[in-house]
Chain A
Amino acid sequence: MTMTRFLIRRILSGIVVLWIVSTAAFFLFFARNPDIVARSLAGRAATSAIISEVKRNLGLTQPIMVQYWQFLDRTLHGNFGLSYYNGQIPVSSILARDIPRTLSVVVGGVVLWGVVGIAVGVLSATRARTVFDRVSTLGVLAGISMPTFVLGELLLAYVYVPLNTHGIGWVNTGYSGLSNGLAAWSGAMILPWITLATVQAAVYTRLSRGSLLDTLGEDYIRTARAKGLTERRIVYRHAMRAALTPVVSQFGIDIGAFLGGVLVVETVFGIGGLGEDAVTAVTNGDLPTIIAFVLIASAFVVTANIIVDMLYAVLDPRVRIT
């Protein structure tokens, strides 16, 4: 089938998945005694007055299916309720403020992850068993054994602090919006990006290296060599496509793990994006923010998966038939 038809099918199934997730989230959070639900929505520091107000506003005493319908309705309108912990401001305003931060982290992280992972992998494969390969192998080893938060803390302690104490102020923690200048923005983002990307890139370096080495051993590559094509042309025009397909499909699975990494990185570097909001929301019992985060995260994963599927279909035309 054509790419458009493929895309439409994927989008439709993505919507179904989102619907299932939001339904599951709803029942997980709301399908209990209205008092308990109201209390958890209102946060730890709530007074009984606030709790009753919450109960009334959200109609928690109504039958569960009515609540479900209202929940769907509210969500589709972008109304995620009020964050009582943060002084009763609407959750959607928190989202609006913090999504750009998370986006900065995500985009930079993904680019670095993909580019470095594949580039190093390809170079290692084409220069198998040379010094470059050995060194990158050591790097890979370090990367795959390293939890993200440990790397983040280590970078903070042994890169950020020394740099700052020696007067190099570019590398920073926290967040600075793009509107404040590229230097400030990138300075705050560089360490989070490196942290995020290293761990994931290590896995992908190994994967792409192995995949490319396998592909280069195939008969049709041997034929291309016999035809007299240059090695560079063989690798980049012929082998890459086949070698990259397992990498791309693995990418789709790892998006979930990647999200976890984003959360961790935001917490360690104090970026104040959605991830950090979610974590503090758990510690403070701020349920509405969590719900919003769950939905946004699922939407992100679904979208990312659709993109990955499209990419995969471009690389491997056989997939379009299913």
Chain B
Amino acid sequence: MSLSELEFQAQTLEAAPTEAIEGRSQWRLTWARLRRDKMAVASMIVIAVIAILALLAPVFASLLGHGSAQVFPNSGLSGTGGPVSPGTHGFYFGTDELGRDLLVRVLYGARISLFVGITTTAIATVAGVAVGLISGFFGGWVDAVLARFIDTVLAFPFLVLALSLAVVFGPSLTIVISVISFFSWAAISRIVRGQTLSLKEKEYIEAARSLGANPWRIMFIDILPNIMAPVLVLATLSIPAAIVFESTLSFLGLGIQPPTASWGNILAGAQSYYQVAWWYLVFPAAALLITTLAFNLLGDGVRDALDPRTERIFAATRKRRRRTWAGRPATQLDALVAPVPTDGPGEA
């Protein structure tokens, strides 16, 4: 290139409009990877569908004309007094032994499960992160006490506590949420504490202290962004654990009490009738399984999106596909050389 061409190029560059250059944050990269992961996307869709169905449960109830606790001894029970099979008399999932619409009950059960799952996870995450940060950062006797406490809670047989509380206070939704939150936060707390302990020694934390930052600022502005990744994975995986926990408690009679529908207590009723009414067992069980499966797969996908090294359940087929530089052609020239972006989890 001649000198004048170089000068021209330099001038063009200087004259080009300067917009603020946004760095690509960890979250943008993670979301990009997650979007390309088929399993994770499928899970997200399934969860979205379930959530919509759960929200619309009352709509379904009024459309069908069947309330969730409404008994239909005539149309809902067969001649011998047992549940009717799916498809009869407008009961798309059949009925239970009292003649209640199983479809509506399963939908209402979804509301309970999702509500419990999300609420307990939210509480547990906030509490767990706070305690973990405080324990890890302050160290000393604070850490000694809190760490012991966390370990004790983690090892505790939760069902025993649920039993005790249920017998003293009577089973209820509040007890379910309290017990589940109480045990979920410990798992998150332990991870957060471990991470905080190792991050505390980093030089940028020392730099923050030399600037005069107070401990709270350091914890929440410097350390917290660095621990969000494992916390997010744990939180995503806490939801299905909470759902399973709630349904187990309801199944045993320690949680949601009938006539309020929960997948757990529906399945408890199904114990006596599955031999004559397969739908009574299959539909709520399928709903439960699909939901927990979807959340577990999503958690797995999130974990892989944040840190592509780890082993996954369904490691996307690592066929040798053509790679592009950073997944997208940077210039026209690159587009000519490697035209097709990969699918599956991209190369990090």
| Known contacts A137-B313, A301-B155; A28/B168 CB under 8 A | yes
Q: Verify if A256 is at the interface (C-beta below 8 Å from B).
A: yes
| Chain A hits for B160, CB < 8 A | 259, 293-294, 297-298
B130 to chain A, nearest CB (A): 21
Which residues B156-196 have CB closer than 8 A to chain A?
156-160, 163-164, 166-168, 171
A211 to chain B, nearest CB (A): 10
Q: Verify if A235 is at the interface (C-beta below 8 Å from B).
A: no
Complex CA distance for A40 and B155, rounded to whole angstroms: 29
Task: State whether B157 touches A149 (Cβ < 8 A).
Answer: no
Chain A residues within 8 Å of chain B by Cβ, number? 50
Which residues B274-293 have CB closer than 8 A to chain A?
274-275, 278, 281, 285, 288-289, 292-293
Complex CA distance for A290 and B162, rounded to whole angstroms: 11
| Chain B hits for A268, CB < 8 A | 271
| Known contacts A153-B274, A264-B252; A285/B288 CB under 8 A | no
Q: Verify if B296 is at the interface (C-beta below 8 Å from A).
A: yes
User: Closest residue of chain A to B278, judged by CB?
Assistant: A157
| Known contacts A256-B156, A301-B155; A141/B248 CB under 8 A | no
| Chain A hits for B285, CB < 8 A | 150, 153-154
| Chain B hits for A17, CB < 8 A | 152
Q: Verify if B270 is at the interface (C-beta below 8 Å from A).
A: yes
Q: Verify if B139 is at the interface (C-beta below 8 Å from A).
A: no
Contact flags B30-64 to A (C-beta < 8 A → 1, else 0): 00000000000000000000000000000000000
A163 to chain B, nearest CB (A): 13
Task: State whether A145 touches B163 (Cβ < 8 A).
Answer: no
Q: Verify if A184 is at the interface (C-beta below 8 Å from B).
A: no
Task: State whether B311 touches A294 (Cβ < 8 A).
Answer: no
Task: State whether A145 touches B248 (Cβ < 8 A).
Answer: no
Task: State whether A146 touches B289 (Cβ < 8 A).
Answer: yes
Complex CA distance for A294 and B168, rounded to whole angstroms: 13
| Known contacts A29-B168, A140-B313, A256-B155; A264/B274 CB under 8 A | no
B interface majority secondary structure: helix
Task: State whether B164 touches A153 (Cβ < 8 A).
Answer: no
A241 to chain B, nearest CB (A): 20
| Known contacts A150-B285, A256-B157, A301-B157; A282/B163 CB under 8 A | yes
Complex CA distance for A154 and B297, rounded to whole angstroms: 22
Q: Verify if A283 is at the interface (C-beta below 8 Å from B).
A: yes
| Known contacts A145-B292, A150-B267, A153-B270; A253/B155 CB under 8 A | yes
Task: State whether B274 touches A157 (Cβ < 8 A).
Answer: yes
Chain B residues within 8 Å of chain A by Cβ, number? 42
Q: Verify if B154 is at the interface (C-beta below 8 Å from A).
A: yes
| Chain B hits for A252, CB < 8 A | 155
Q: Verify if A89 is at the interface (C-beta below 8 Å from B).
A: no
| Known contacts A147-B247, A260-B159; A153/B253 CB under 8 A | no
Q: Verify if A172 is at the interface (C-beta below 8 Å from B).
A: no
Q: Verify if B251 is at the interface (C-beta below 8 Å from A).
A: yes
Contact flags A121-148 to B (C-beta < 8 A → 1, else 0): 0000000010000000100110011111
Task: State whether A209 touches B155 (Cβ < 8 A).
Answer: no
| Chain A hits for B254, CB < 8 A | 279, 282
B299 to chain A, nearest CB (A): 10
A124 to chain B, nearest CB (A): 10
Complex CA distance for A153 and B244, rounded to whole angstroms: 15
Task: State whether B166 touches A149 (Cβ < 8 A).
Answer: no
B301 to chain A, nearest CB (A): 13
Q: Verify if A234 is at the interface (C-beta below 8 Å from B).
A: no
Task: State whether A260 touches B248 (Cβ < 8 A).
Answer: yes
User: Given A145-B296, A149-B248, A153-B270, list of 13 further CB < 8 A pairs?
Assistant: A28-B164, A147-B292, A149-B247, A153-B267, A157-B275, A259-B157, A263-B159, A264-B252, A278-B163, A279-B252, A283-B253, A287-B167, A290-B164
Taking beta carbons and an 8 Å cutoff, which residues of A are in contact with B? 17, 25, 28-29, 40, 129, 137, 140-141, 144-150, 153-154, 156-157, 161, 206, 209-210, 213, 252-253, 255-257, 259-260, 263-264, 267-268, 278-279, 281-283, 285, 287, 290, 293-294, 297-298, 301, 305
